[in-house]
Homo-oligomer: A and B are copies of this chain.
Amino acid sequence: MPRGRIAQRLRLAPGQRVRLRDAQAAERLGWDEDEAKRALDANRERLEQLQYKMYADGRFGLIVLLQAIDAGGKDGTIRHVVSAFNPGGVQVTSFKAPSPEEARHDYLWRVEARIPPRGMVGVLNRSHYEEVMAARVRRLVPRGTWEARYAHINAYERYLTDNRLRLVKLFLQISKKEQKRRFEARVRERHKQWKFTPSDIADRAQWGRYHRAFEDALCHCGSAWAPWYLIPADHKWFRNFAVSQILREELEALPLRFPRPEYDPRKIRIPD
């Protein structure tokens, strides 16, 4: 199996319909753990350089949107990949169930409030996609309401793109077996117990309905301007490497440059 072109192979085509099968979640595209870890290290260095240039440039921003089922690895991806960036240029937002104030607003309000200025990396840990996933599976709104949201989301993401904010959407896919292993570790290990609540079991029981909702969102909101990437995430090392590779390629595709100084460097003398 060819090992190259990771980002291209994981990117979904606009409107592409995928079936989320558990077997895909352990995919590694021919990579082994050691080489993936070395590649991750190299990508981390490069990501910091690219971010520095994007910050200096100031014309473009990067928004990384993370979605996954519980224990899918969103936090771990932030810890192992997003940590490569200078924290002064990153803004991470973890969206929870809407607060009473958030719920009184239109549903994109809290997202837009957390879009950083250009020059920065914004990370959305969960996002407006909960409005067509959790809201649908838990039947918080009728079908007509969540169906209308695909068009809102596409228009909003187009707007961000037109504003030179590159939106990269990552769906981390784990298998049902792997979720069980991770839940069991959370329940067993003292320092992880706070991450688990018994209601996680109720959500797990909706596995099929969640994945049907994910499949629809990947298809209806897989646009030419804001692609979805489907990341096999049972192997944490592969997930980290793949995400680092995608972010690297996405940043390398931006026409970044250091701004010309507004002064003539040859004429500057710093006095003692």
Contact = CB atoms under 8 A, between A and B. Distances in A.
A82 interface: yes
A83 to B, nearest CB: 5
Contact of A191 (B56, B75, B82, B191): B56
A271 B265 CA distance: 67
A190 B57 CA distance: 13
A129 interface: no
Interface in A251-272: 258-259, 261-263, 265, 268, 270-272
Interface stretch (A35-43, A192-200, A215-223): A192-200
A112 to B, nearest CB: 17
Contacts of A204: 270-271
A63 to B, nearest CB: 15
A123 interface: yes
A238 interface: no
A201 B88 CA distance: 25
A5 B33 CA distance: 41
A53 interface: yes
B78 A268 contact: no
Interface stretch (A147-155, A179-187, A240-248): A179-187
A82 B78 contact: no
B198 A268 contact: yes
Interface of A: 52-53, 56, 75, 78-79, 82-83, 85-88, 90-92, 94, 123, 125, 176-177, 180, 183-184, 187-188, 190-191, 193-198, 201, 204-205, 258-259, 261-263, 265, 268, 270-272
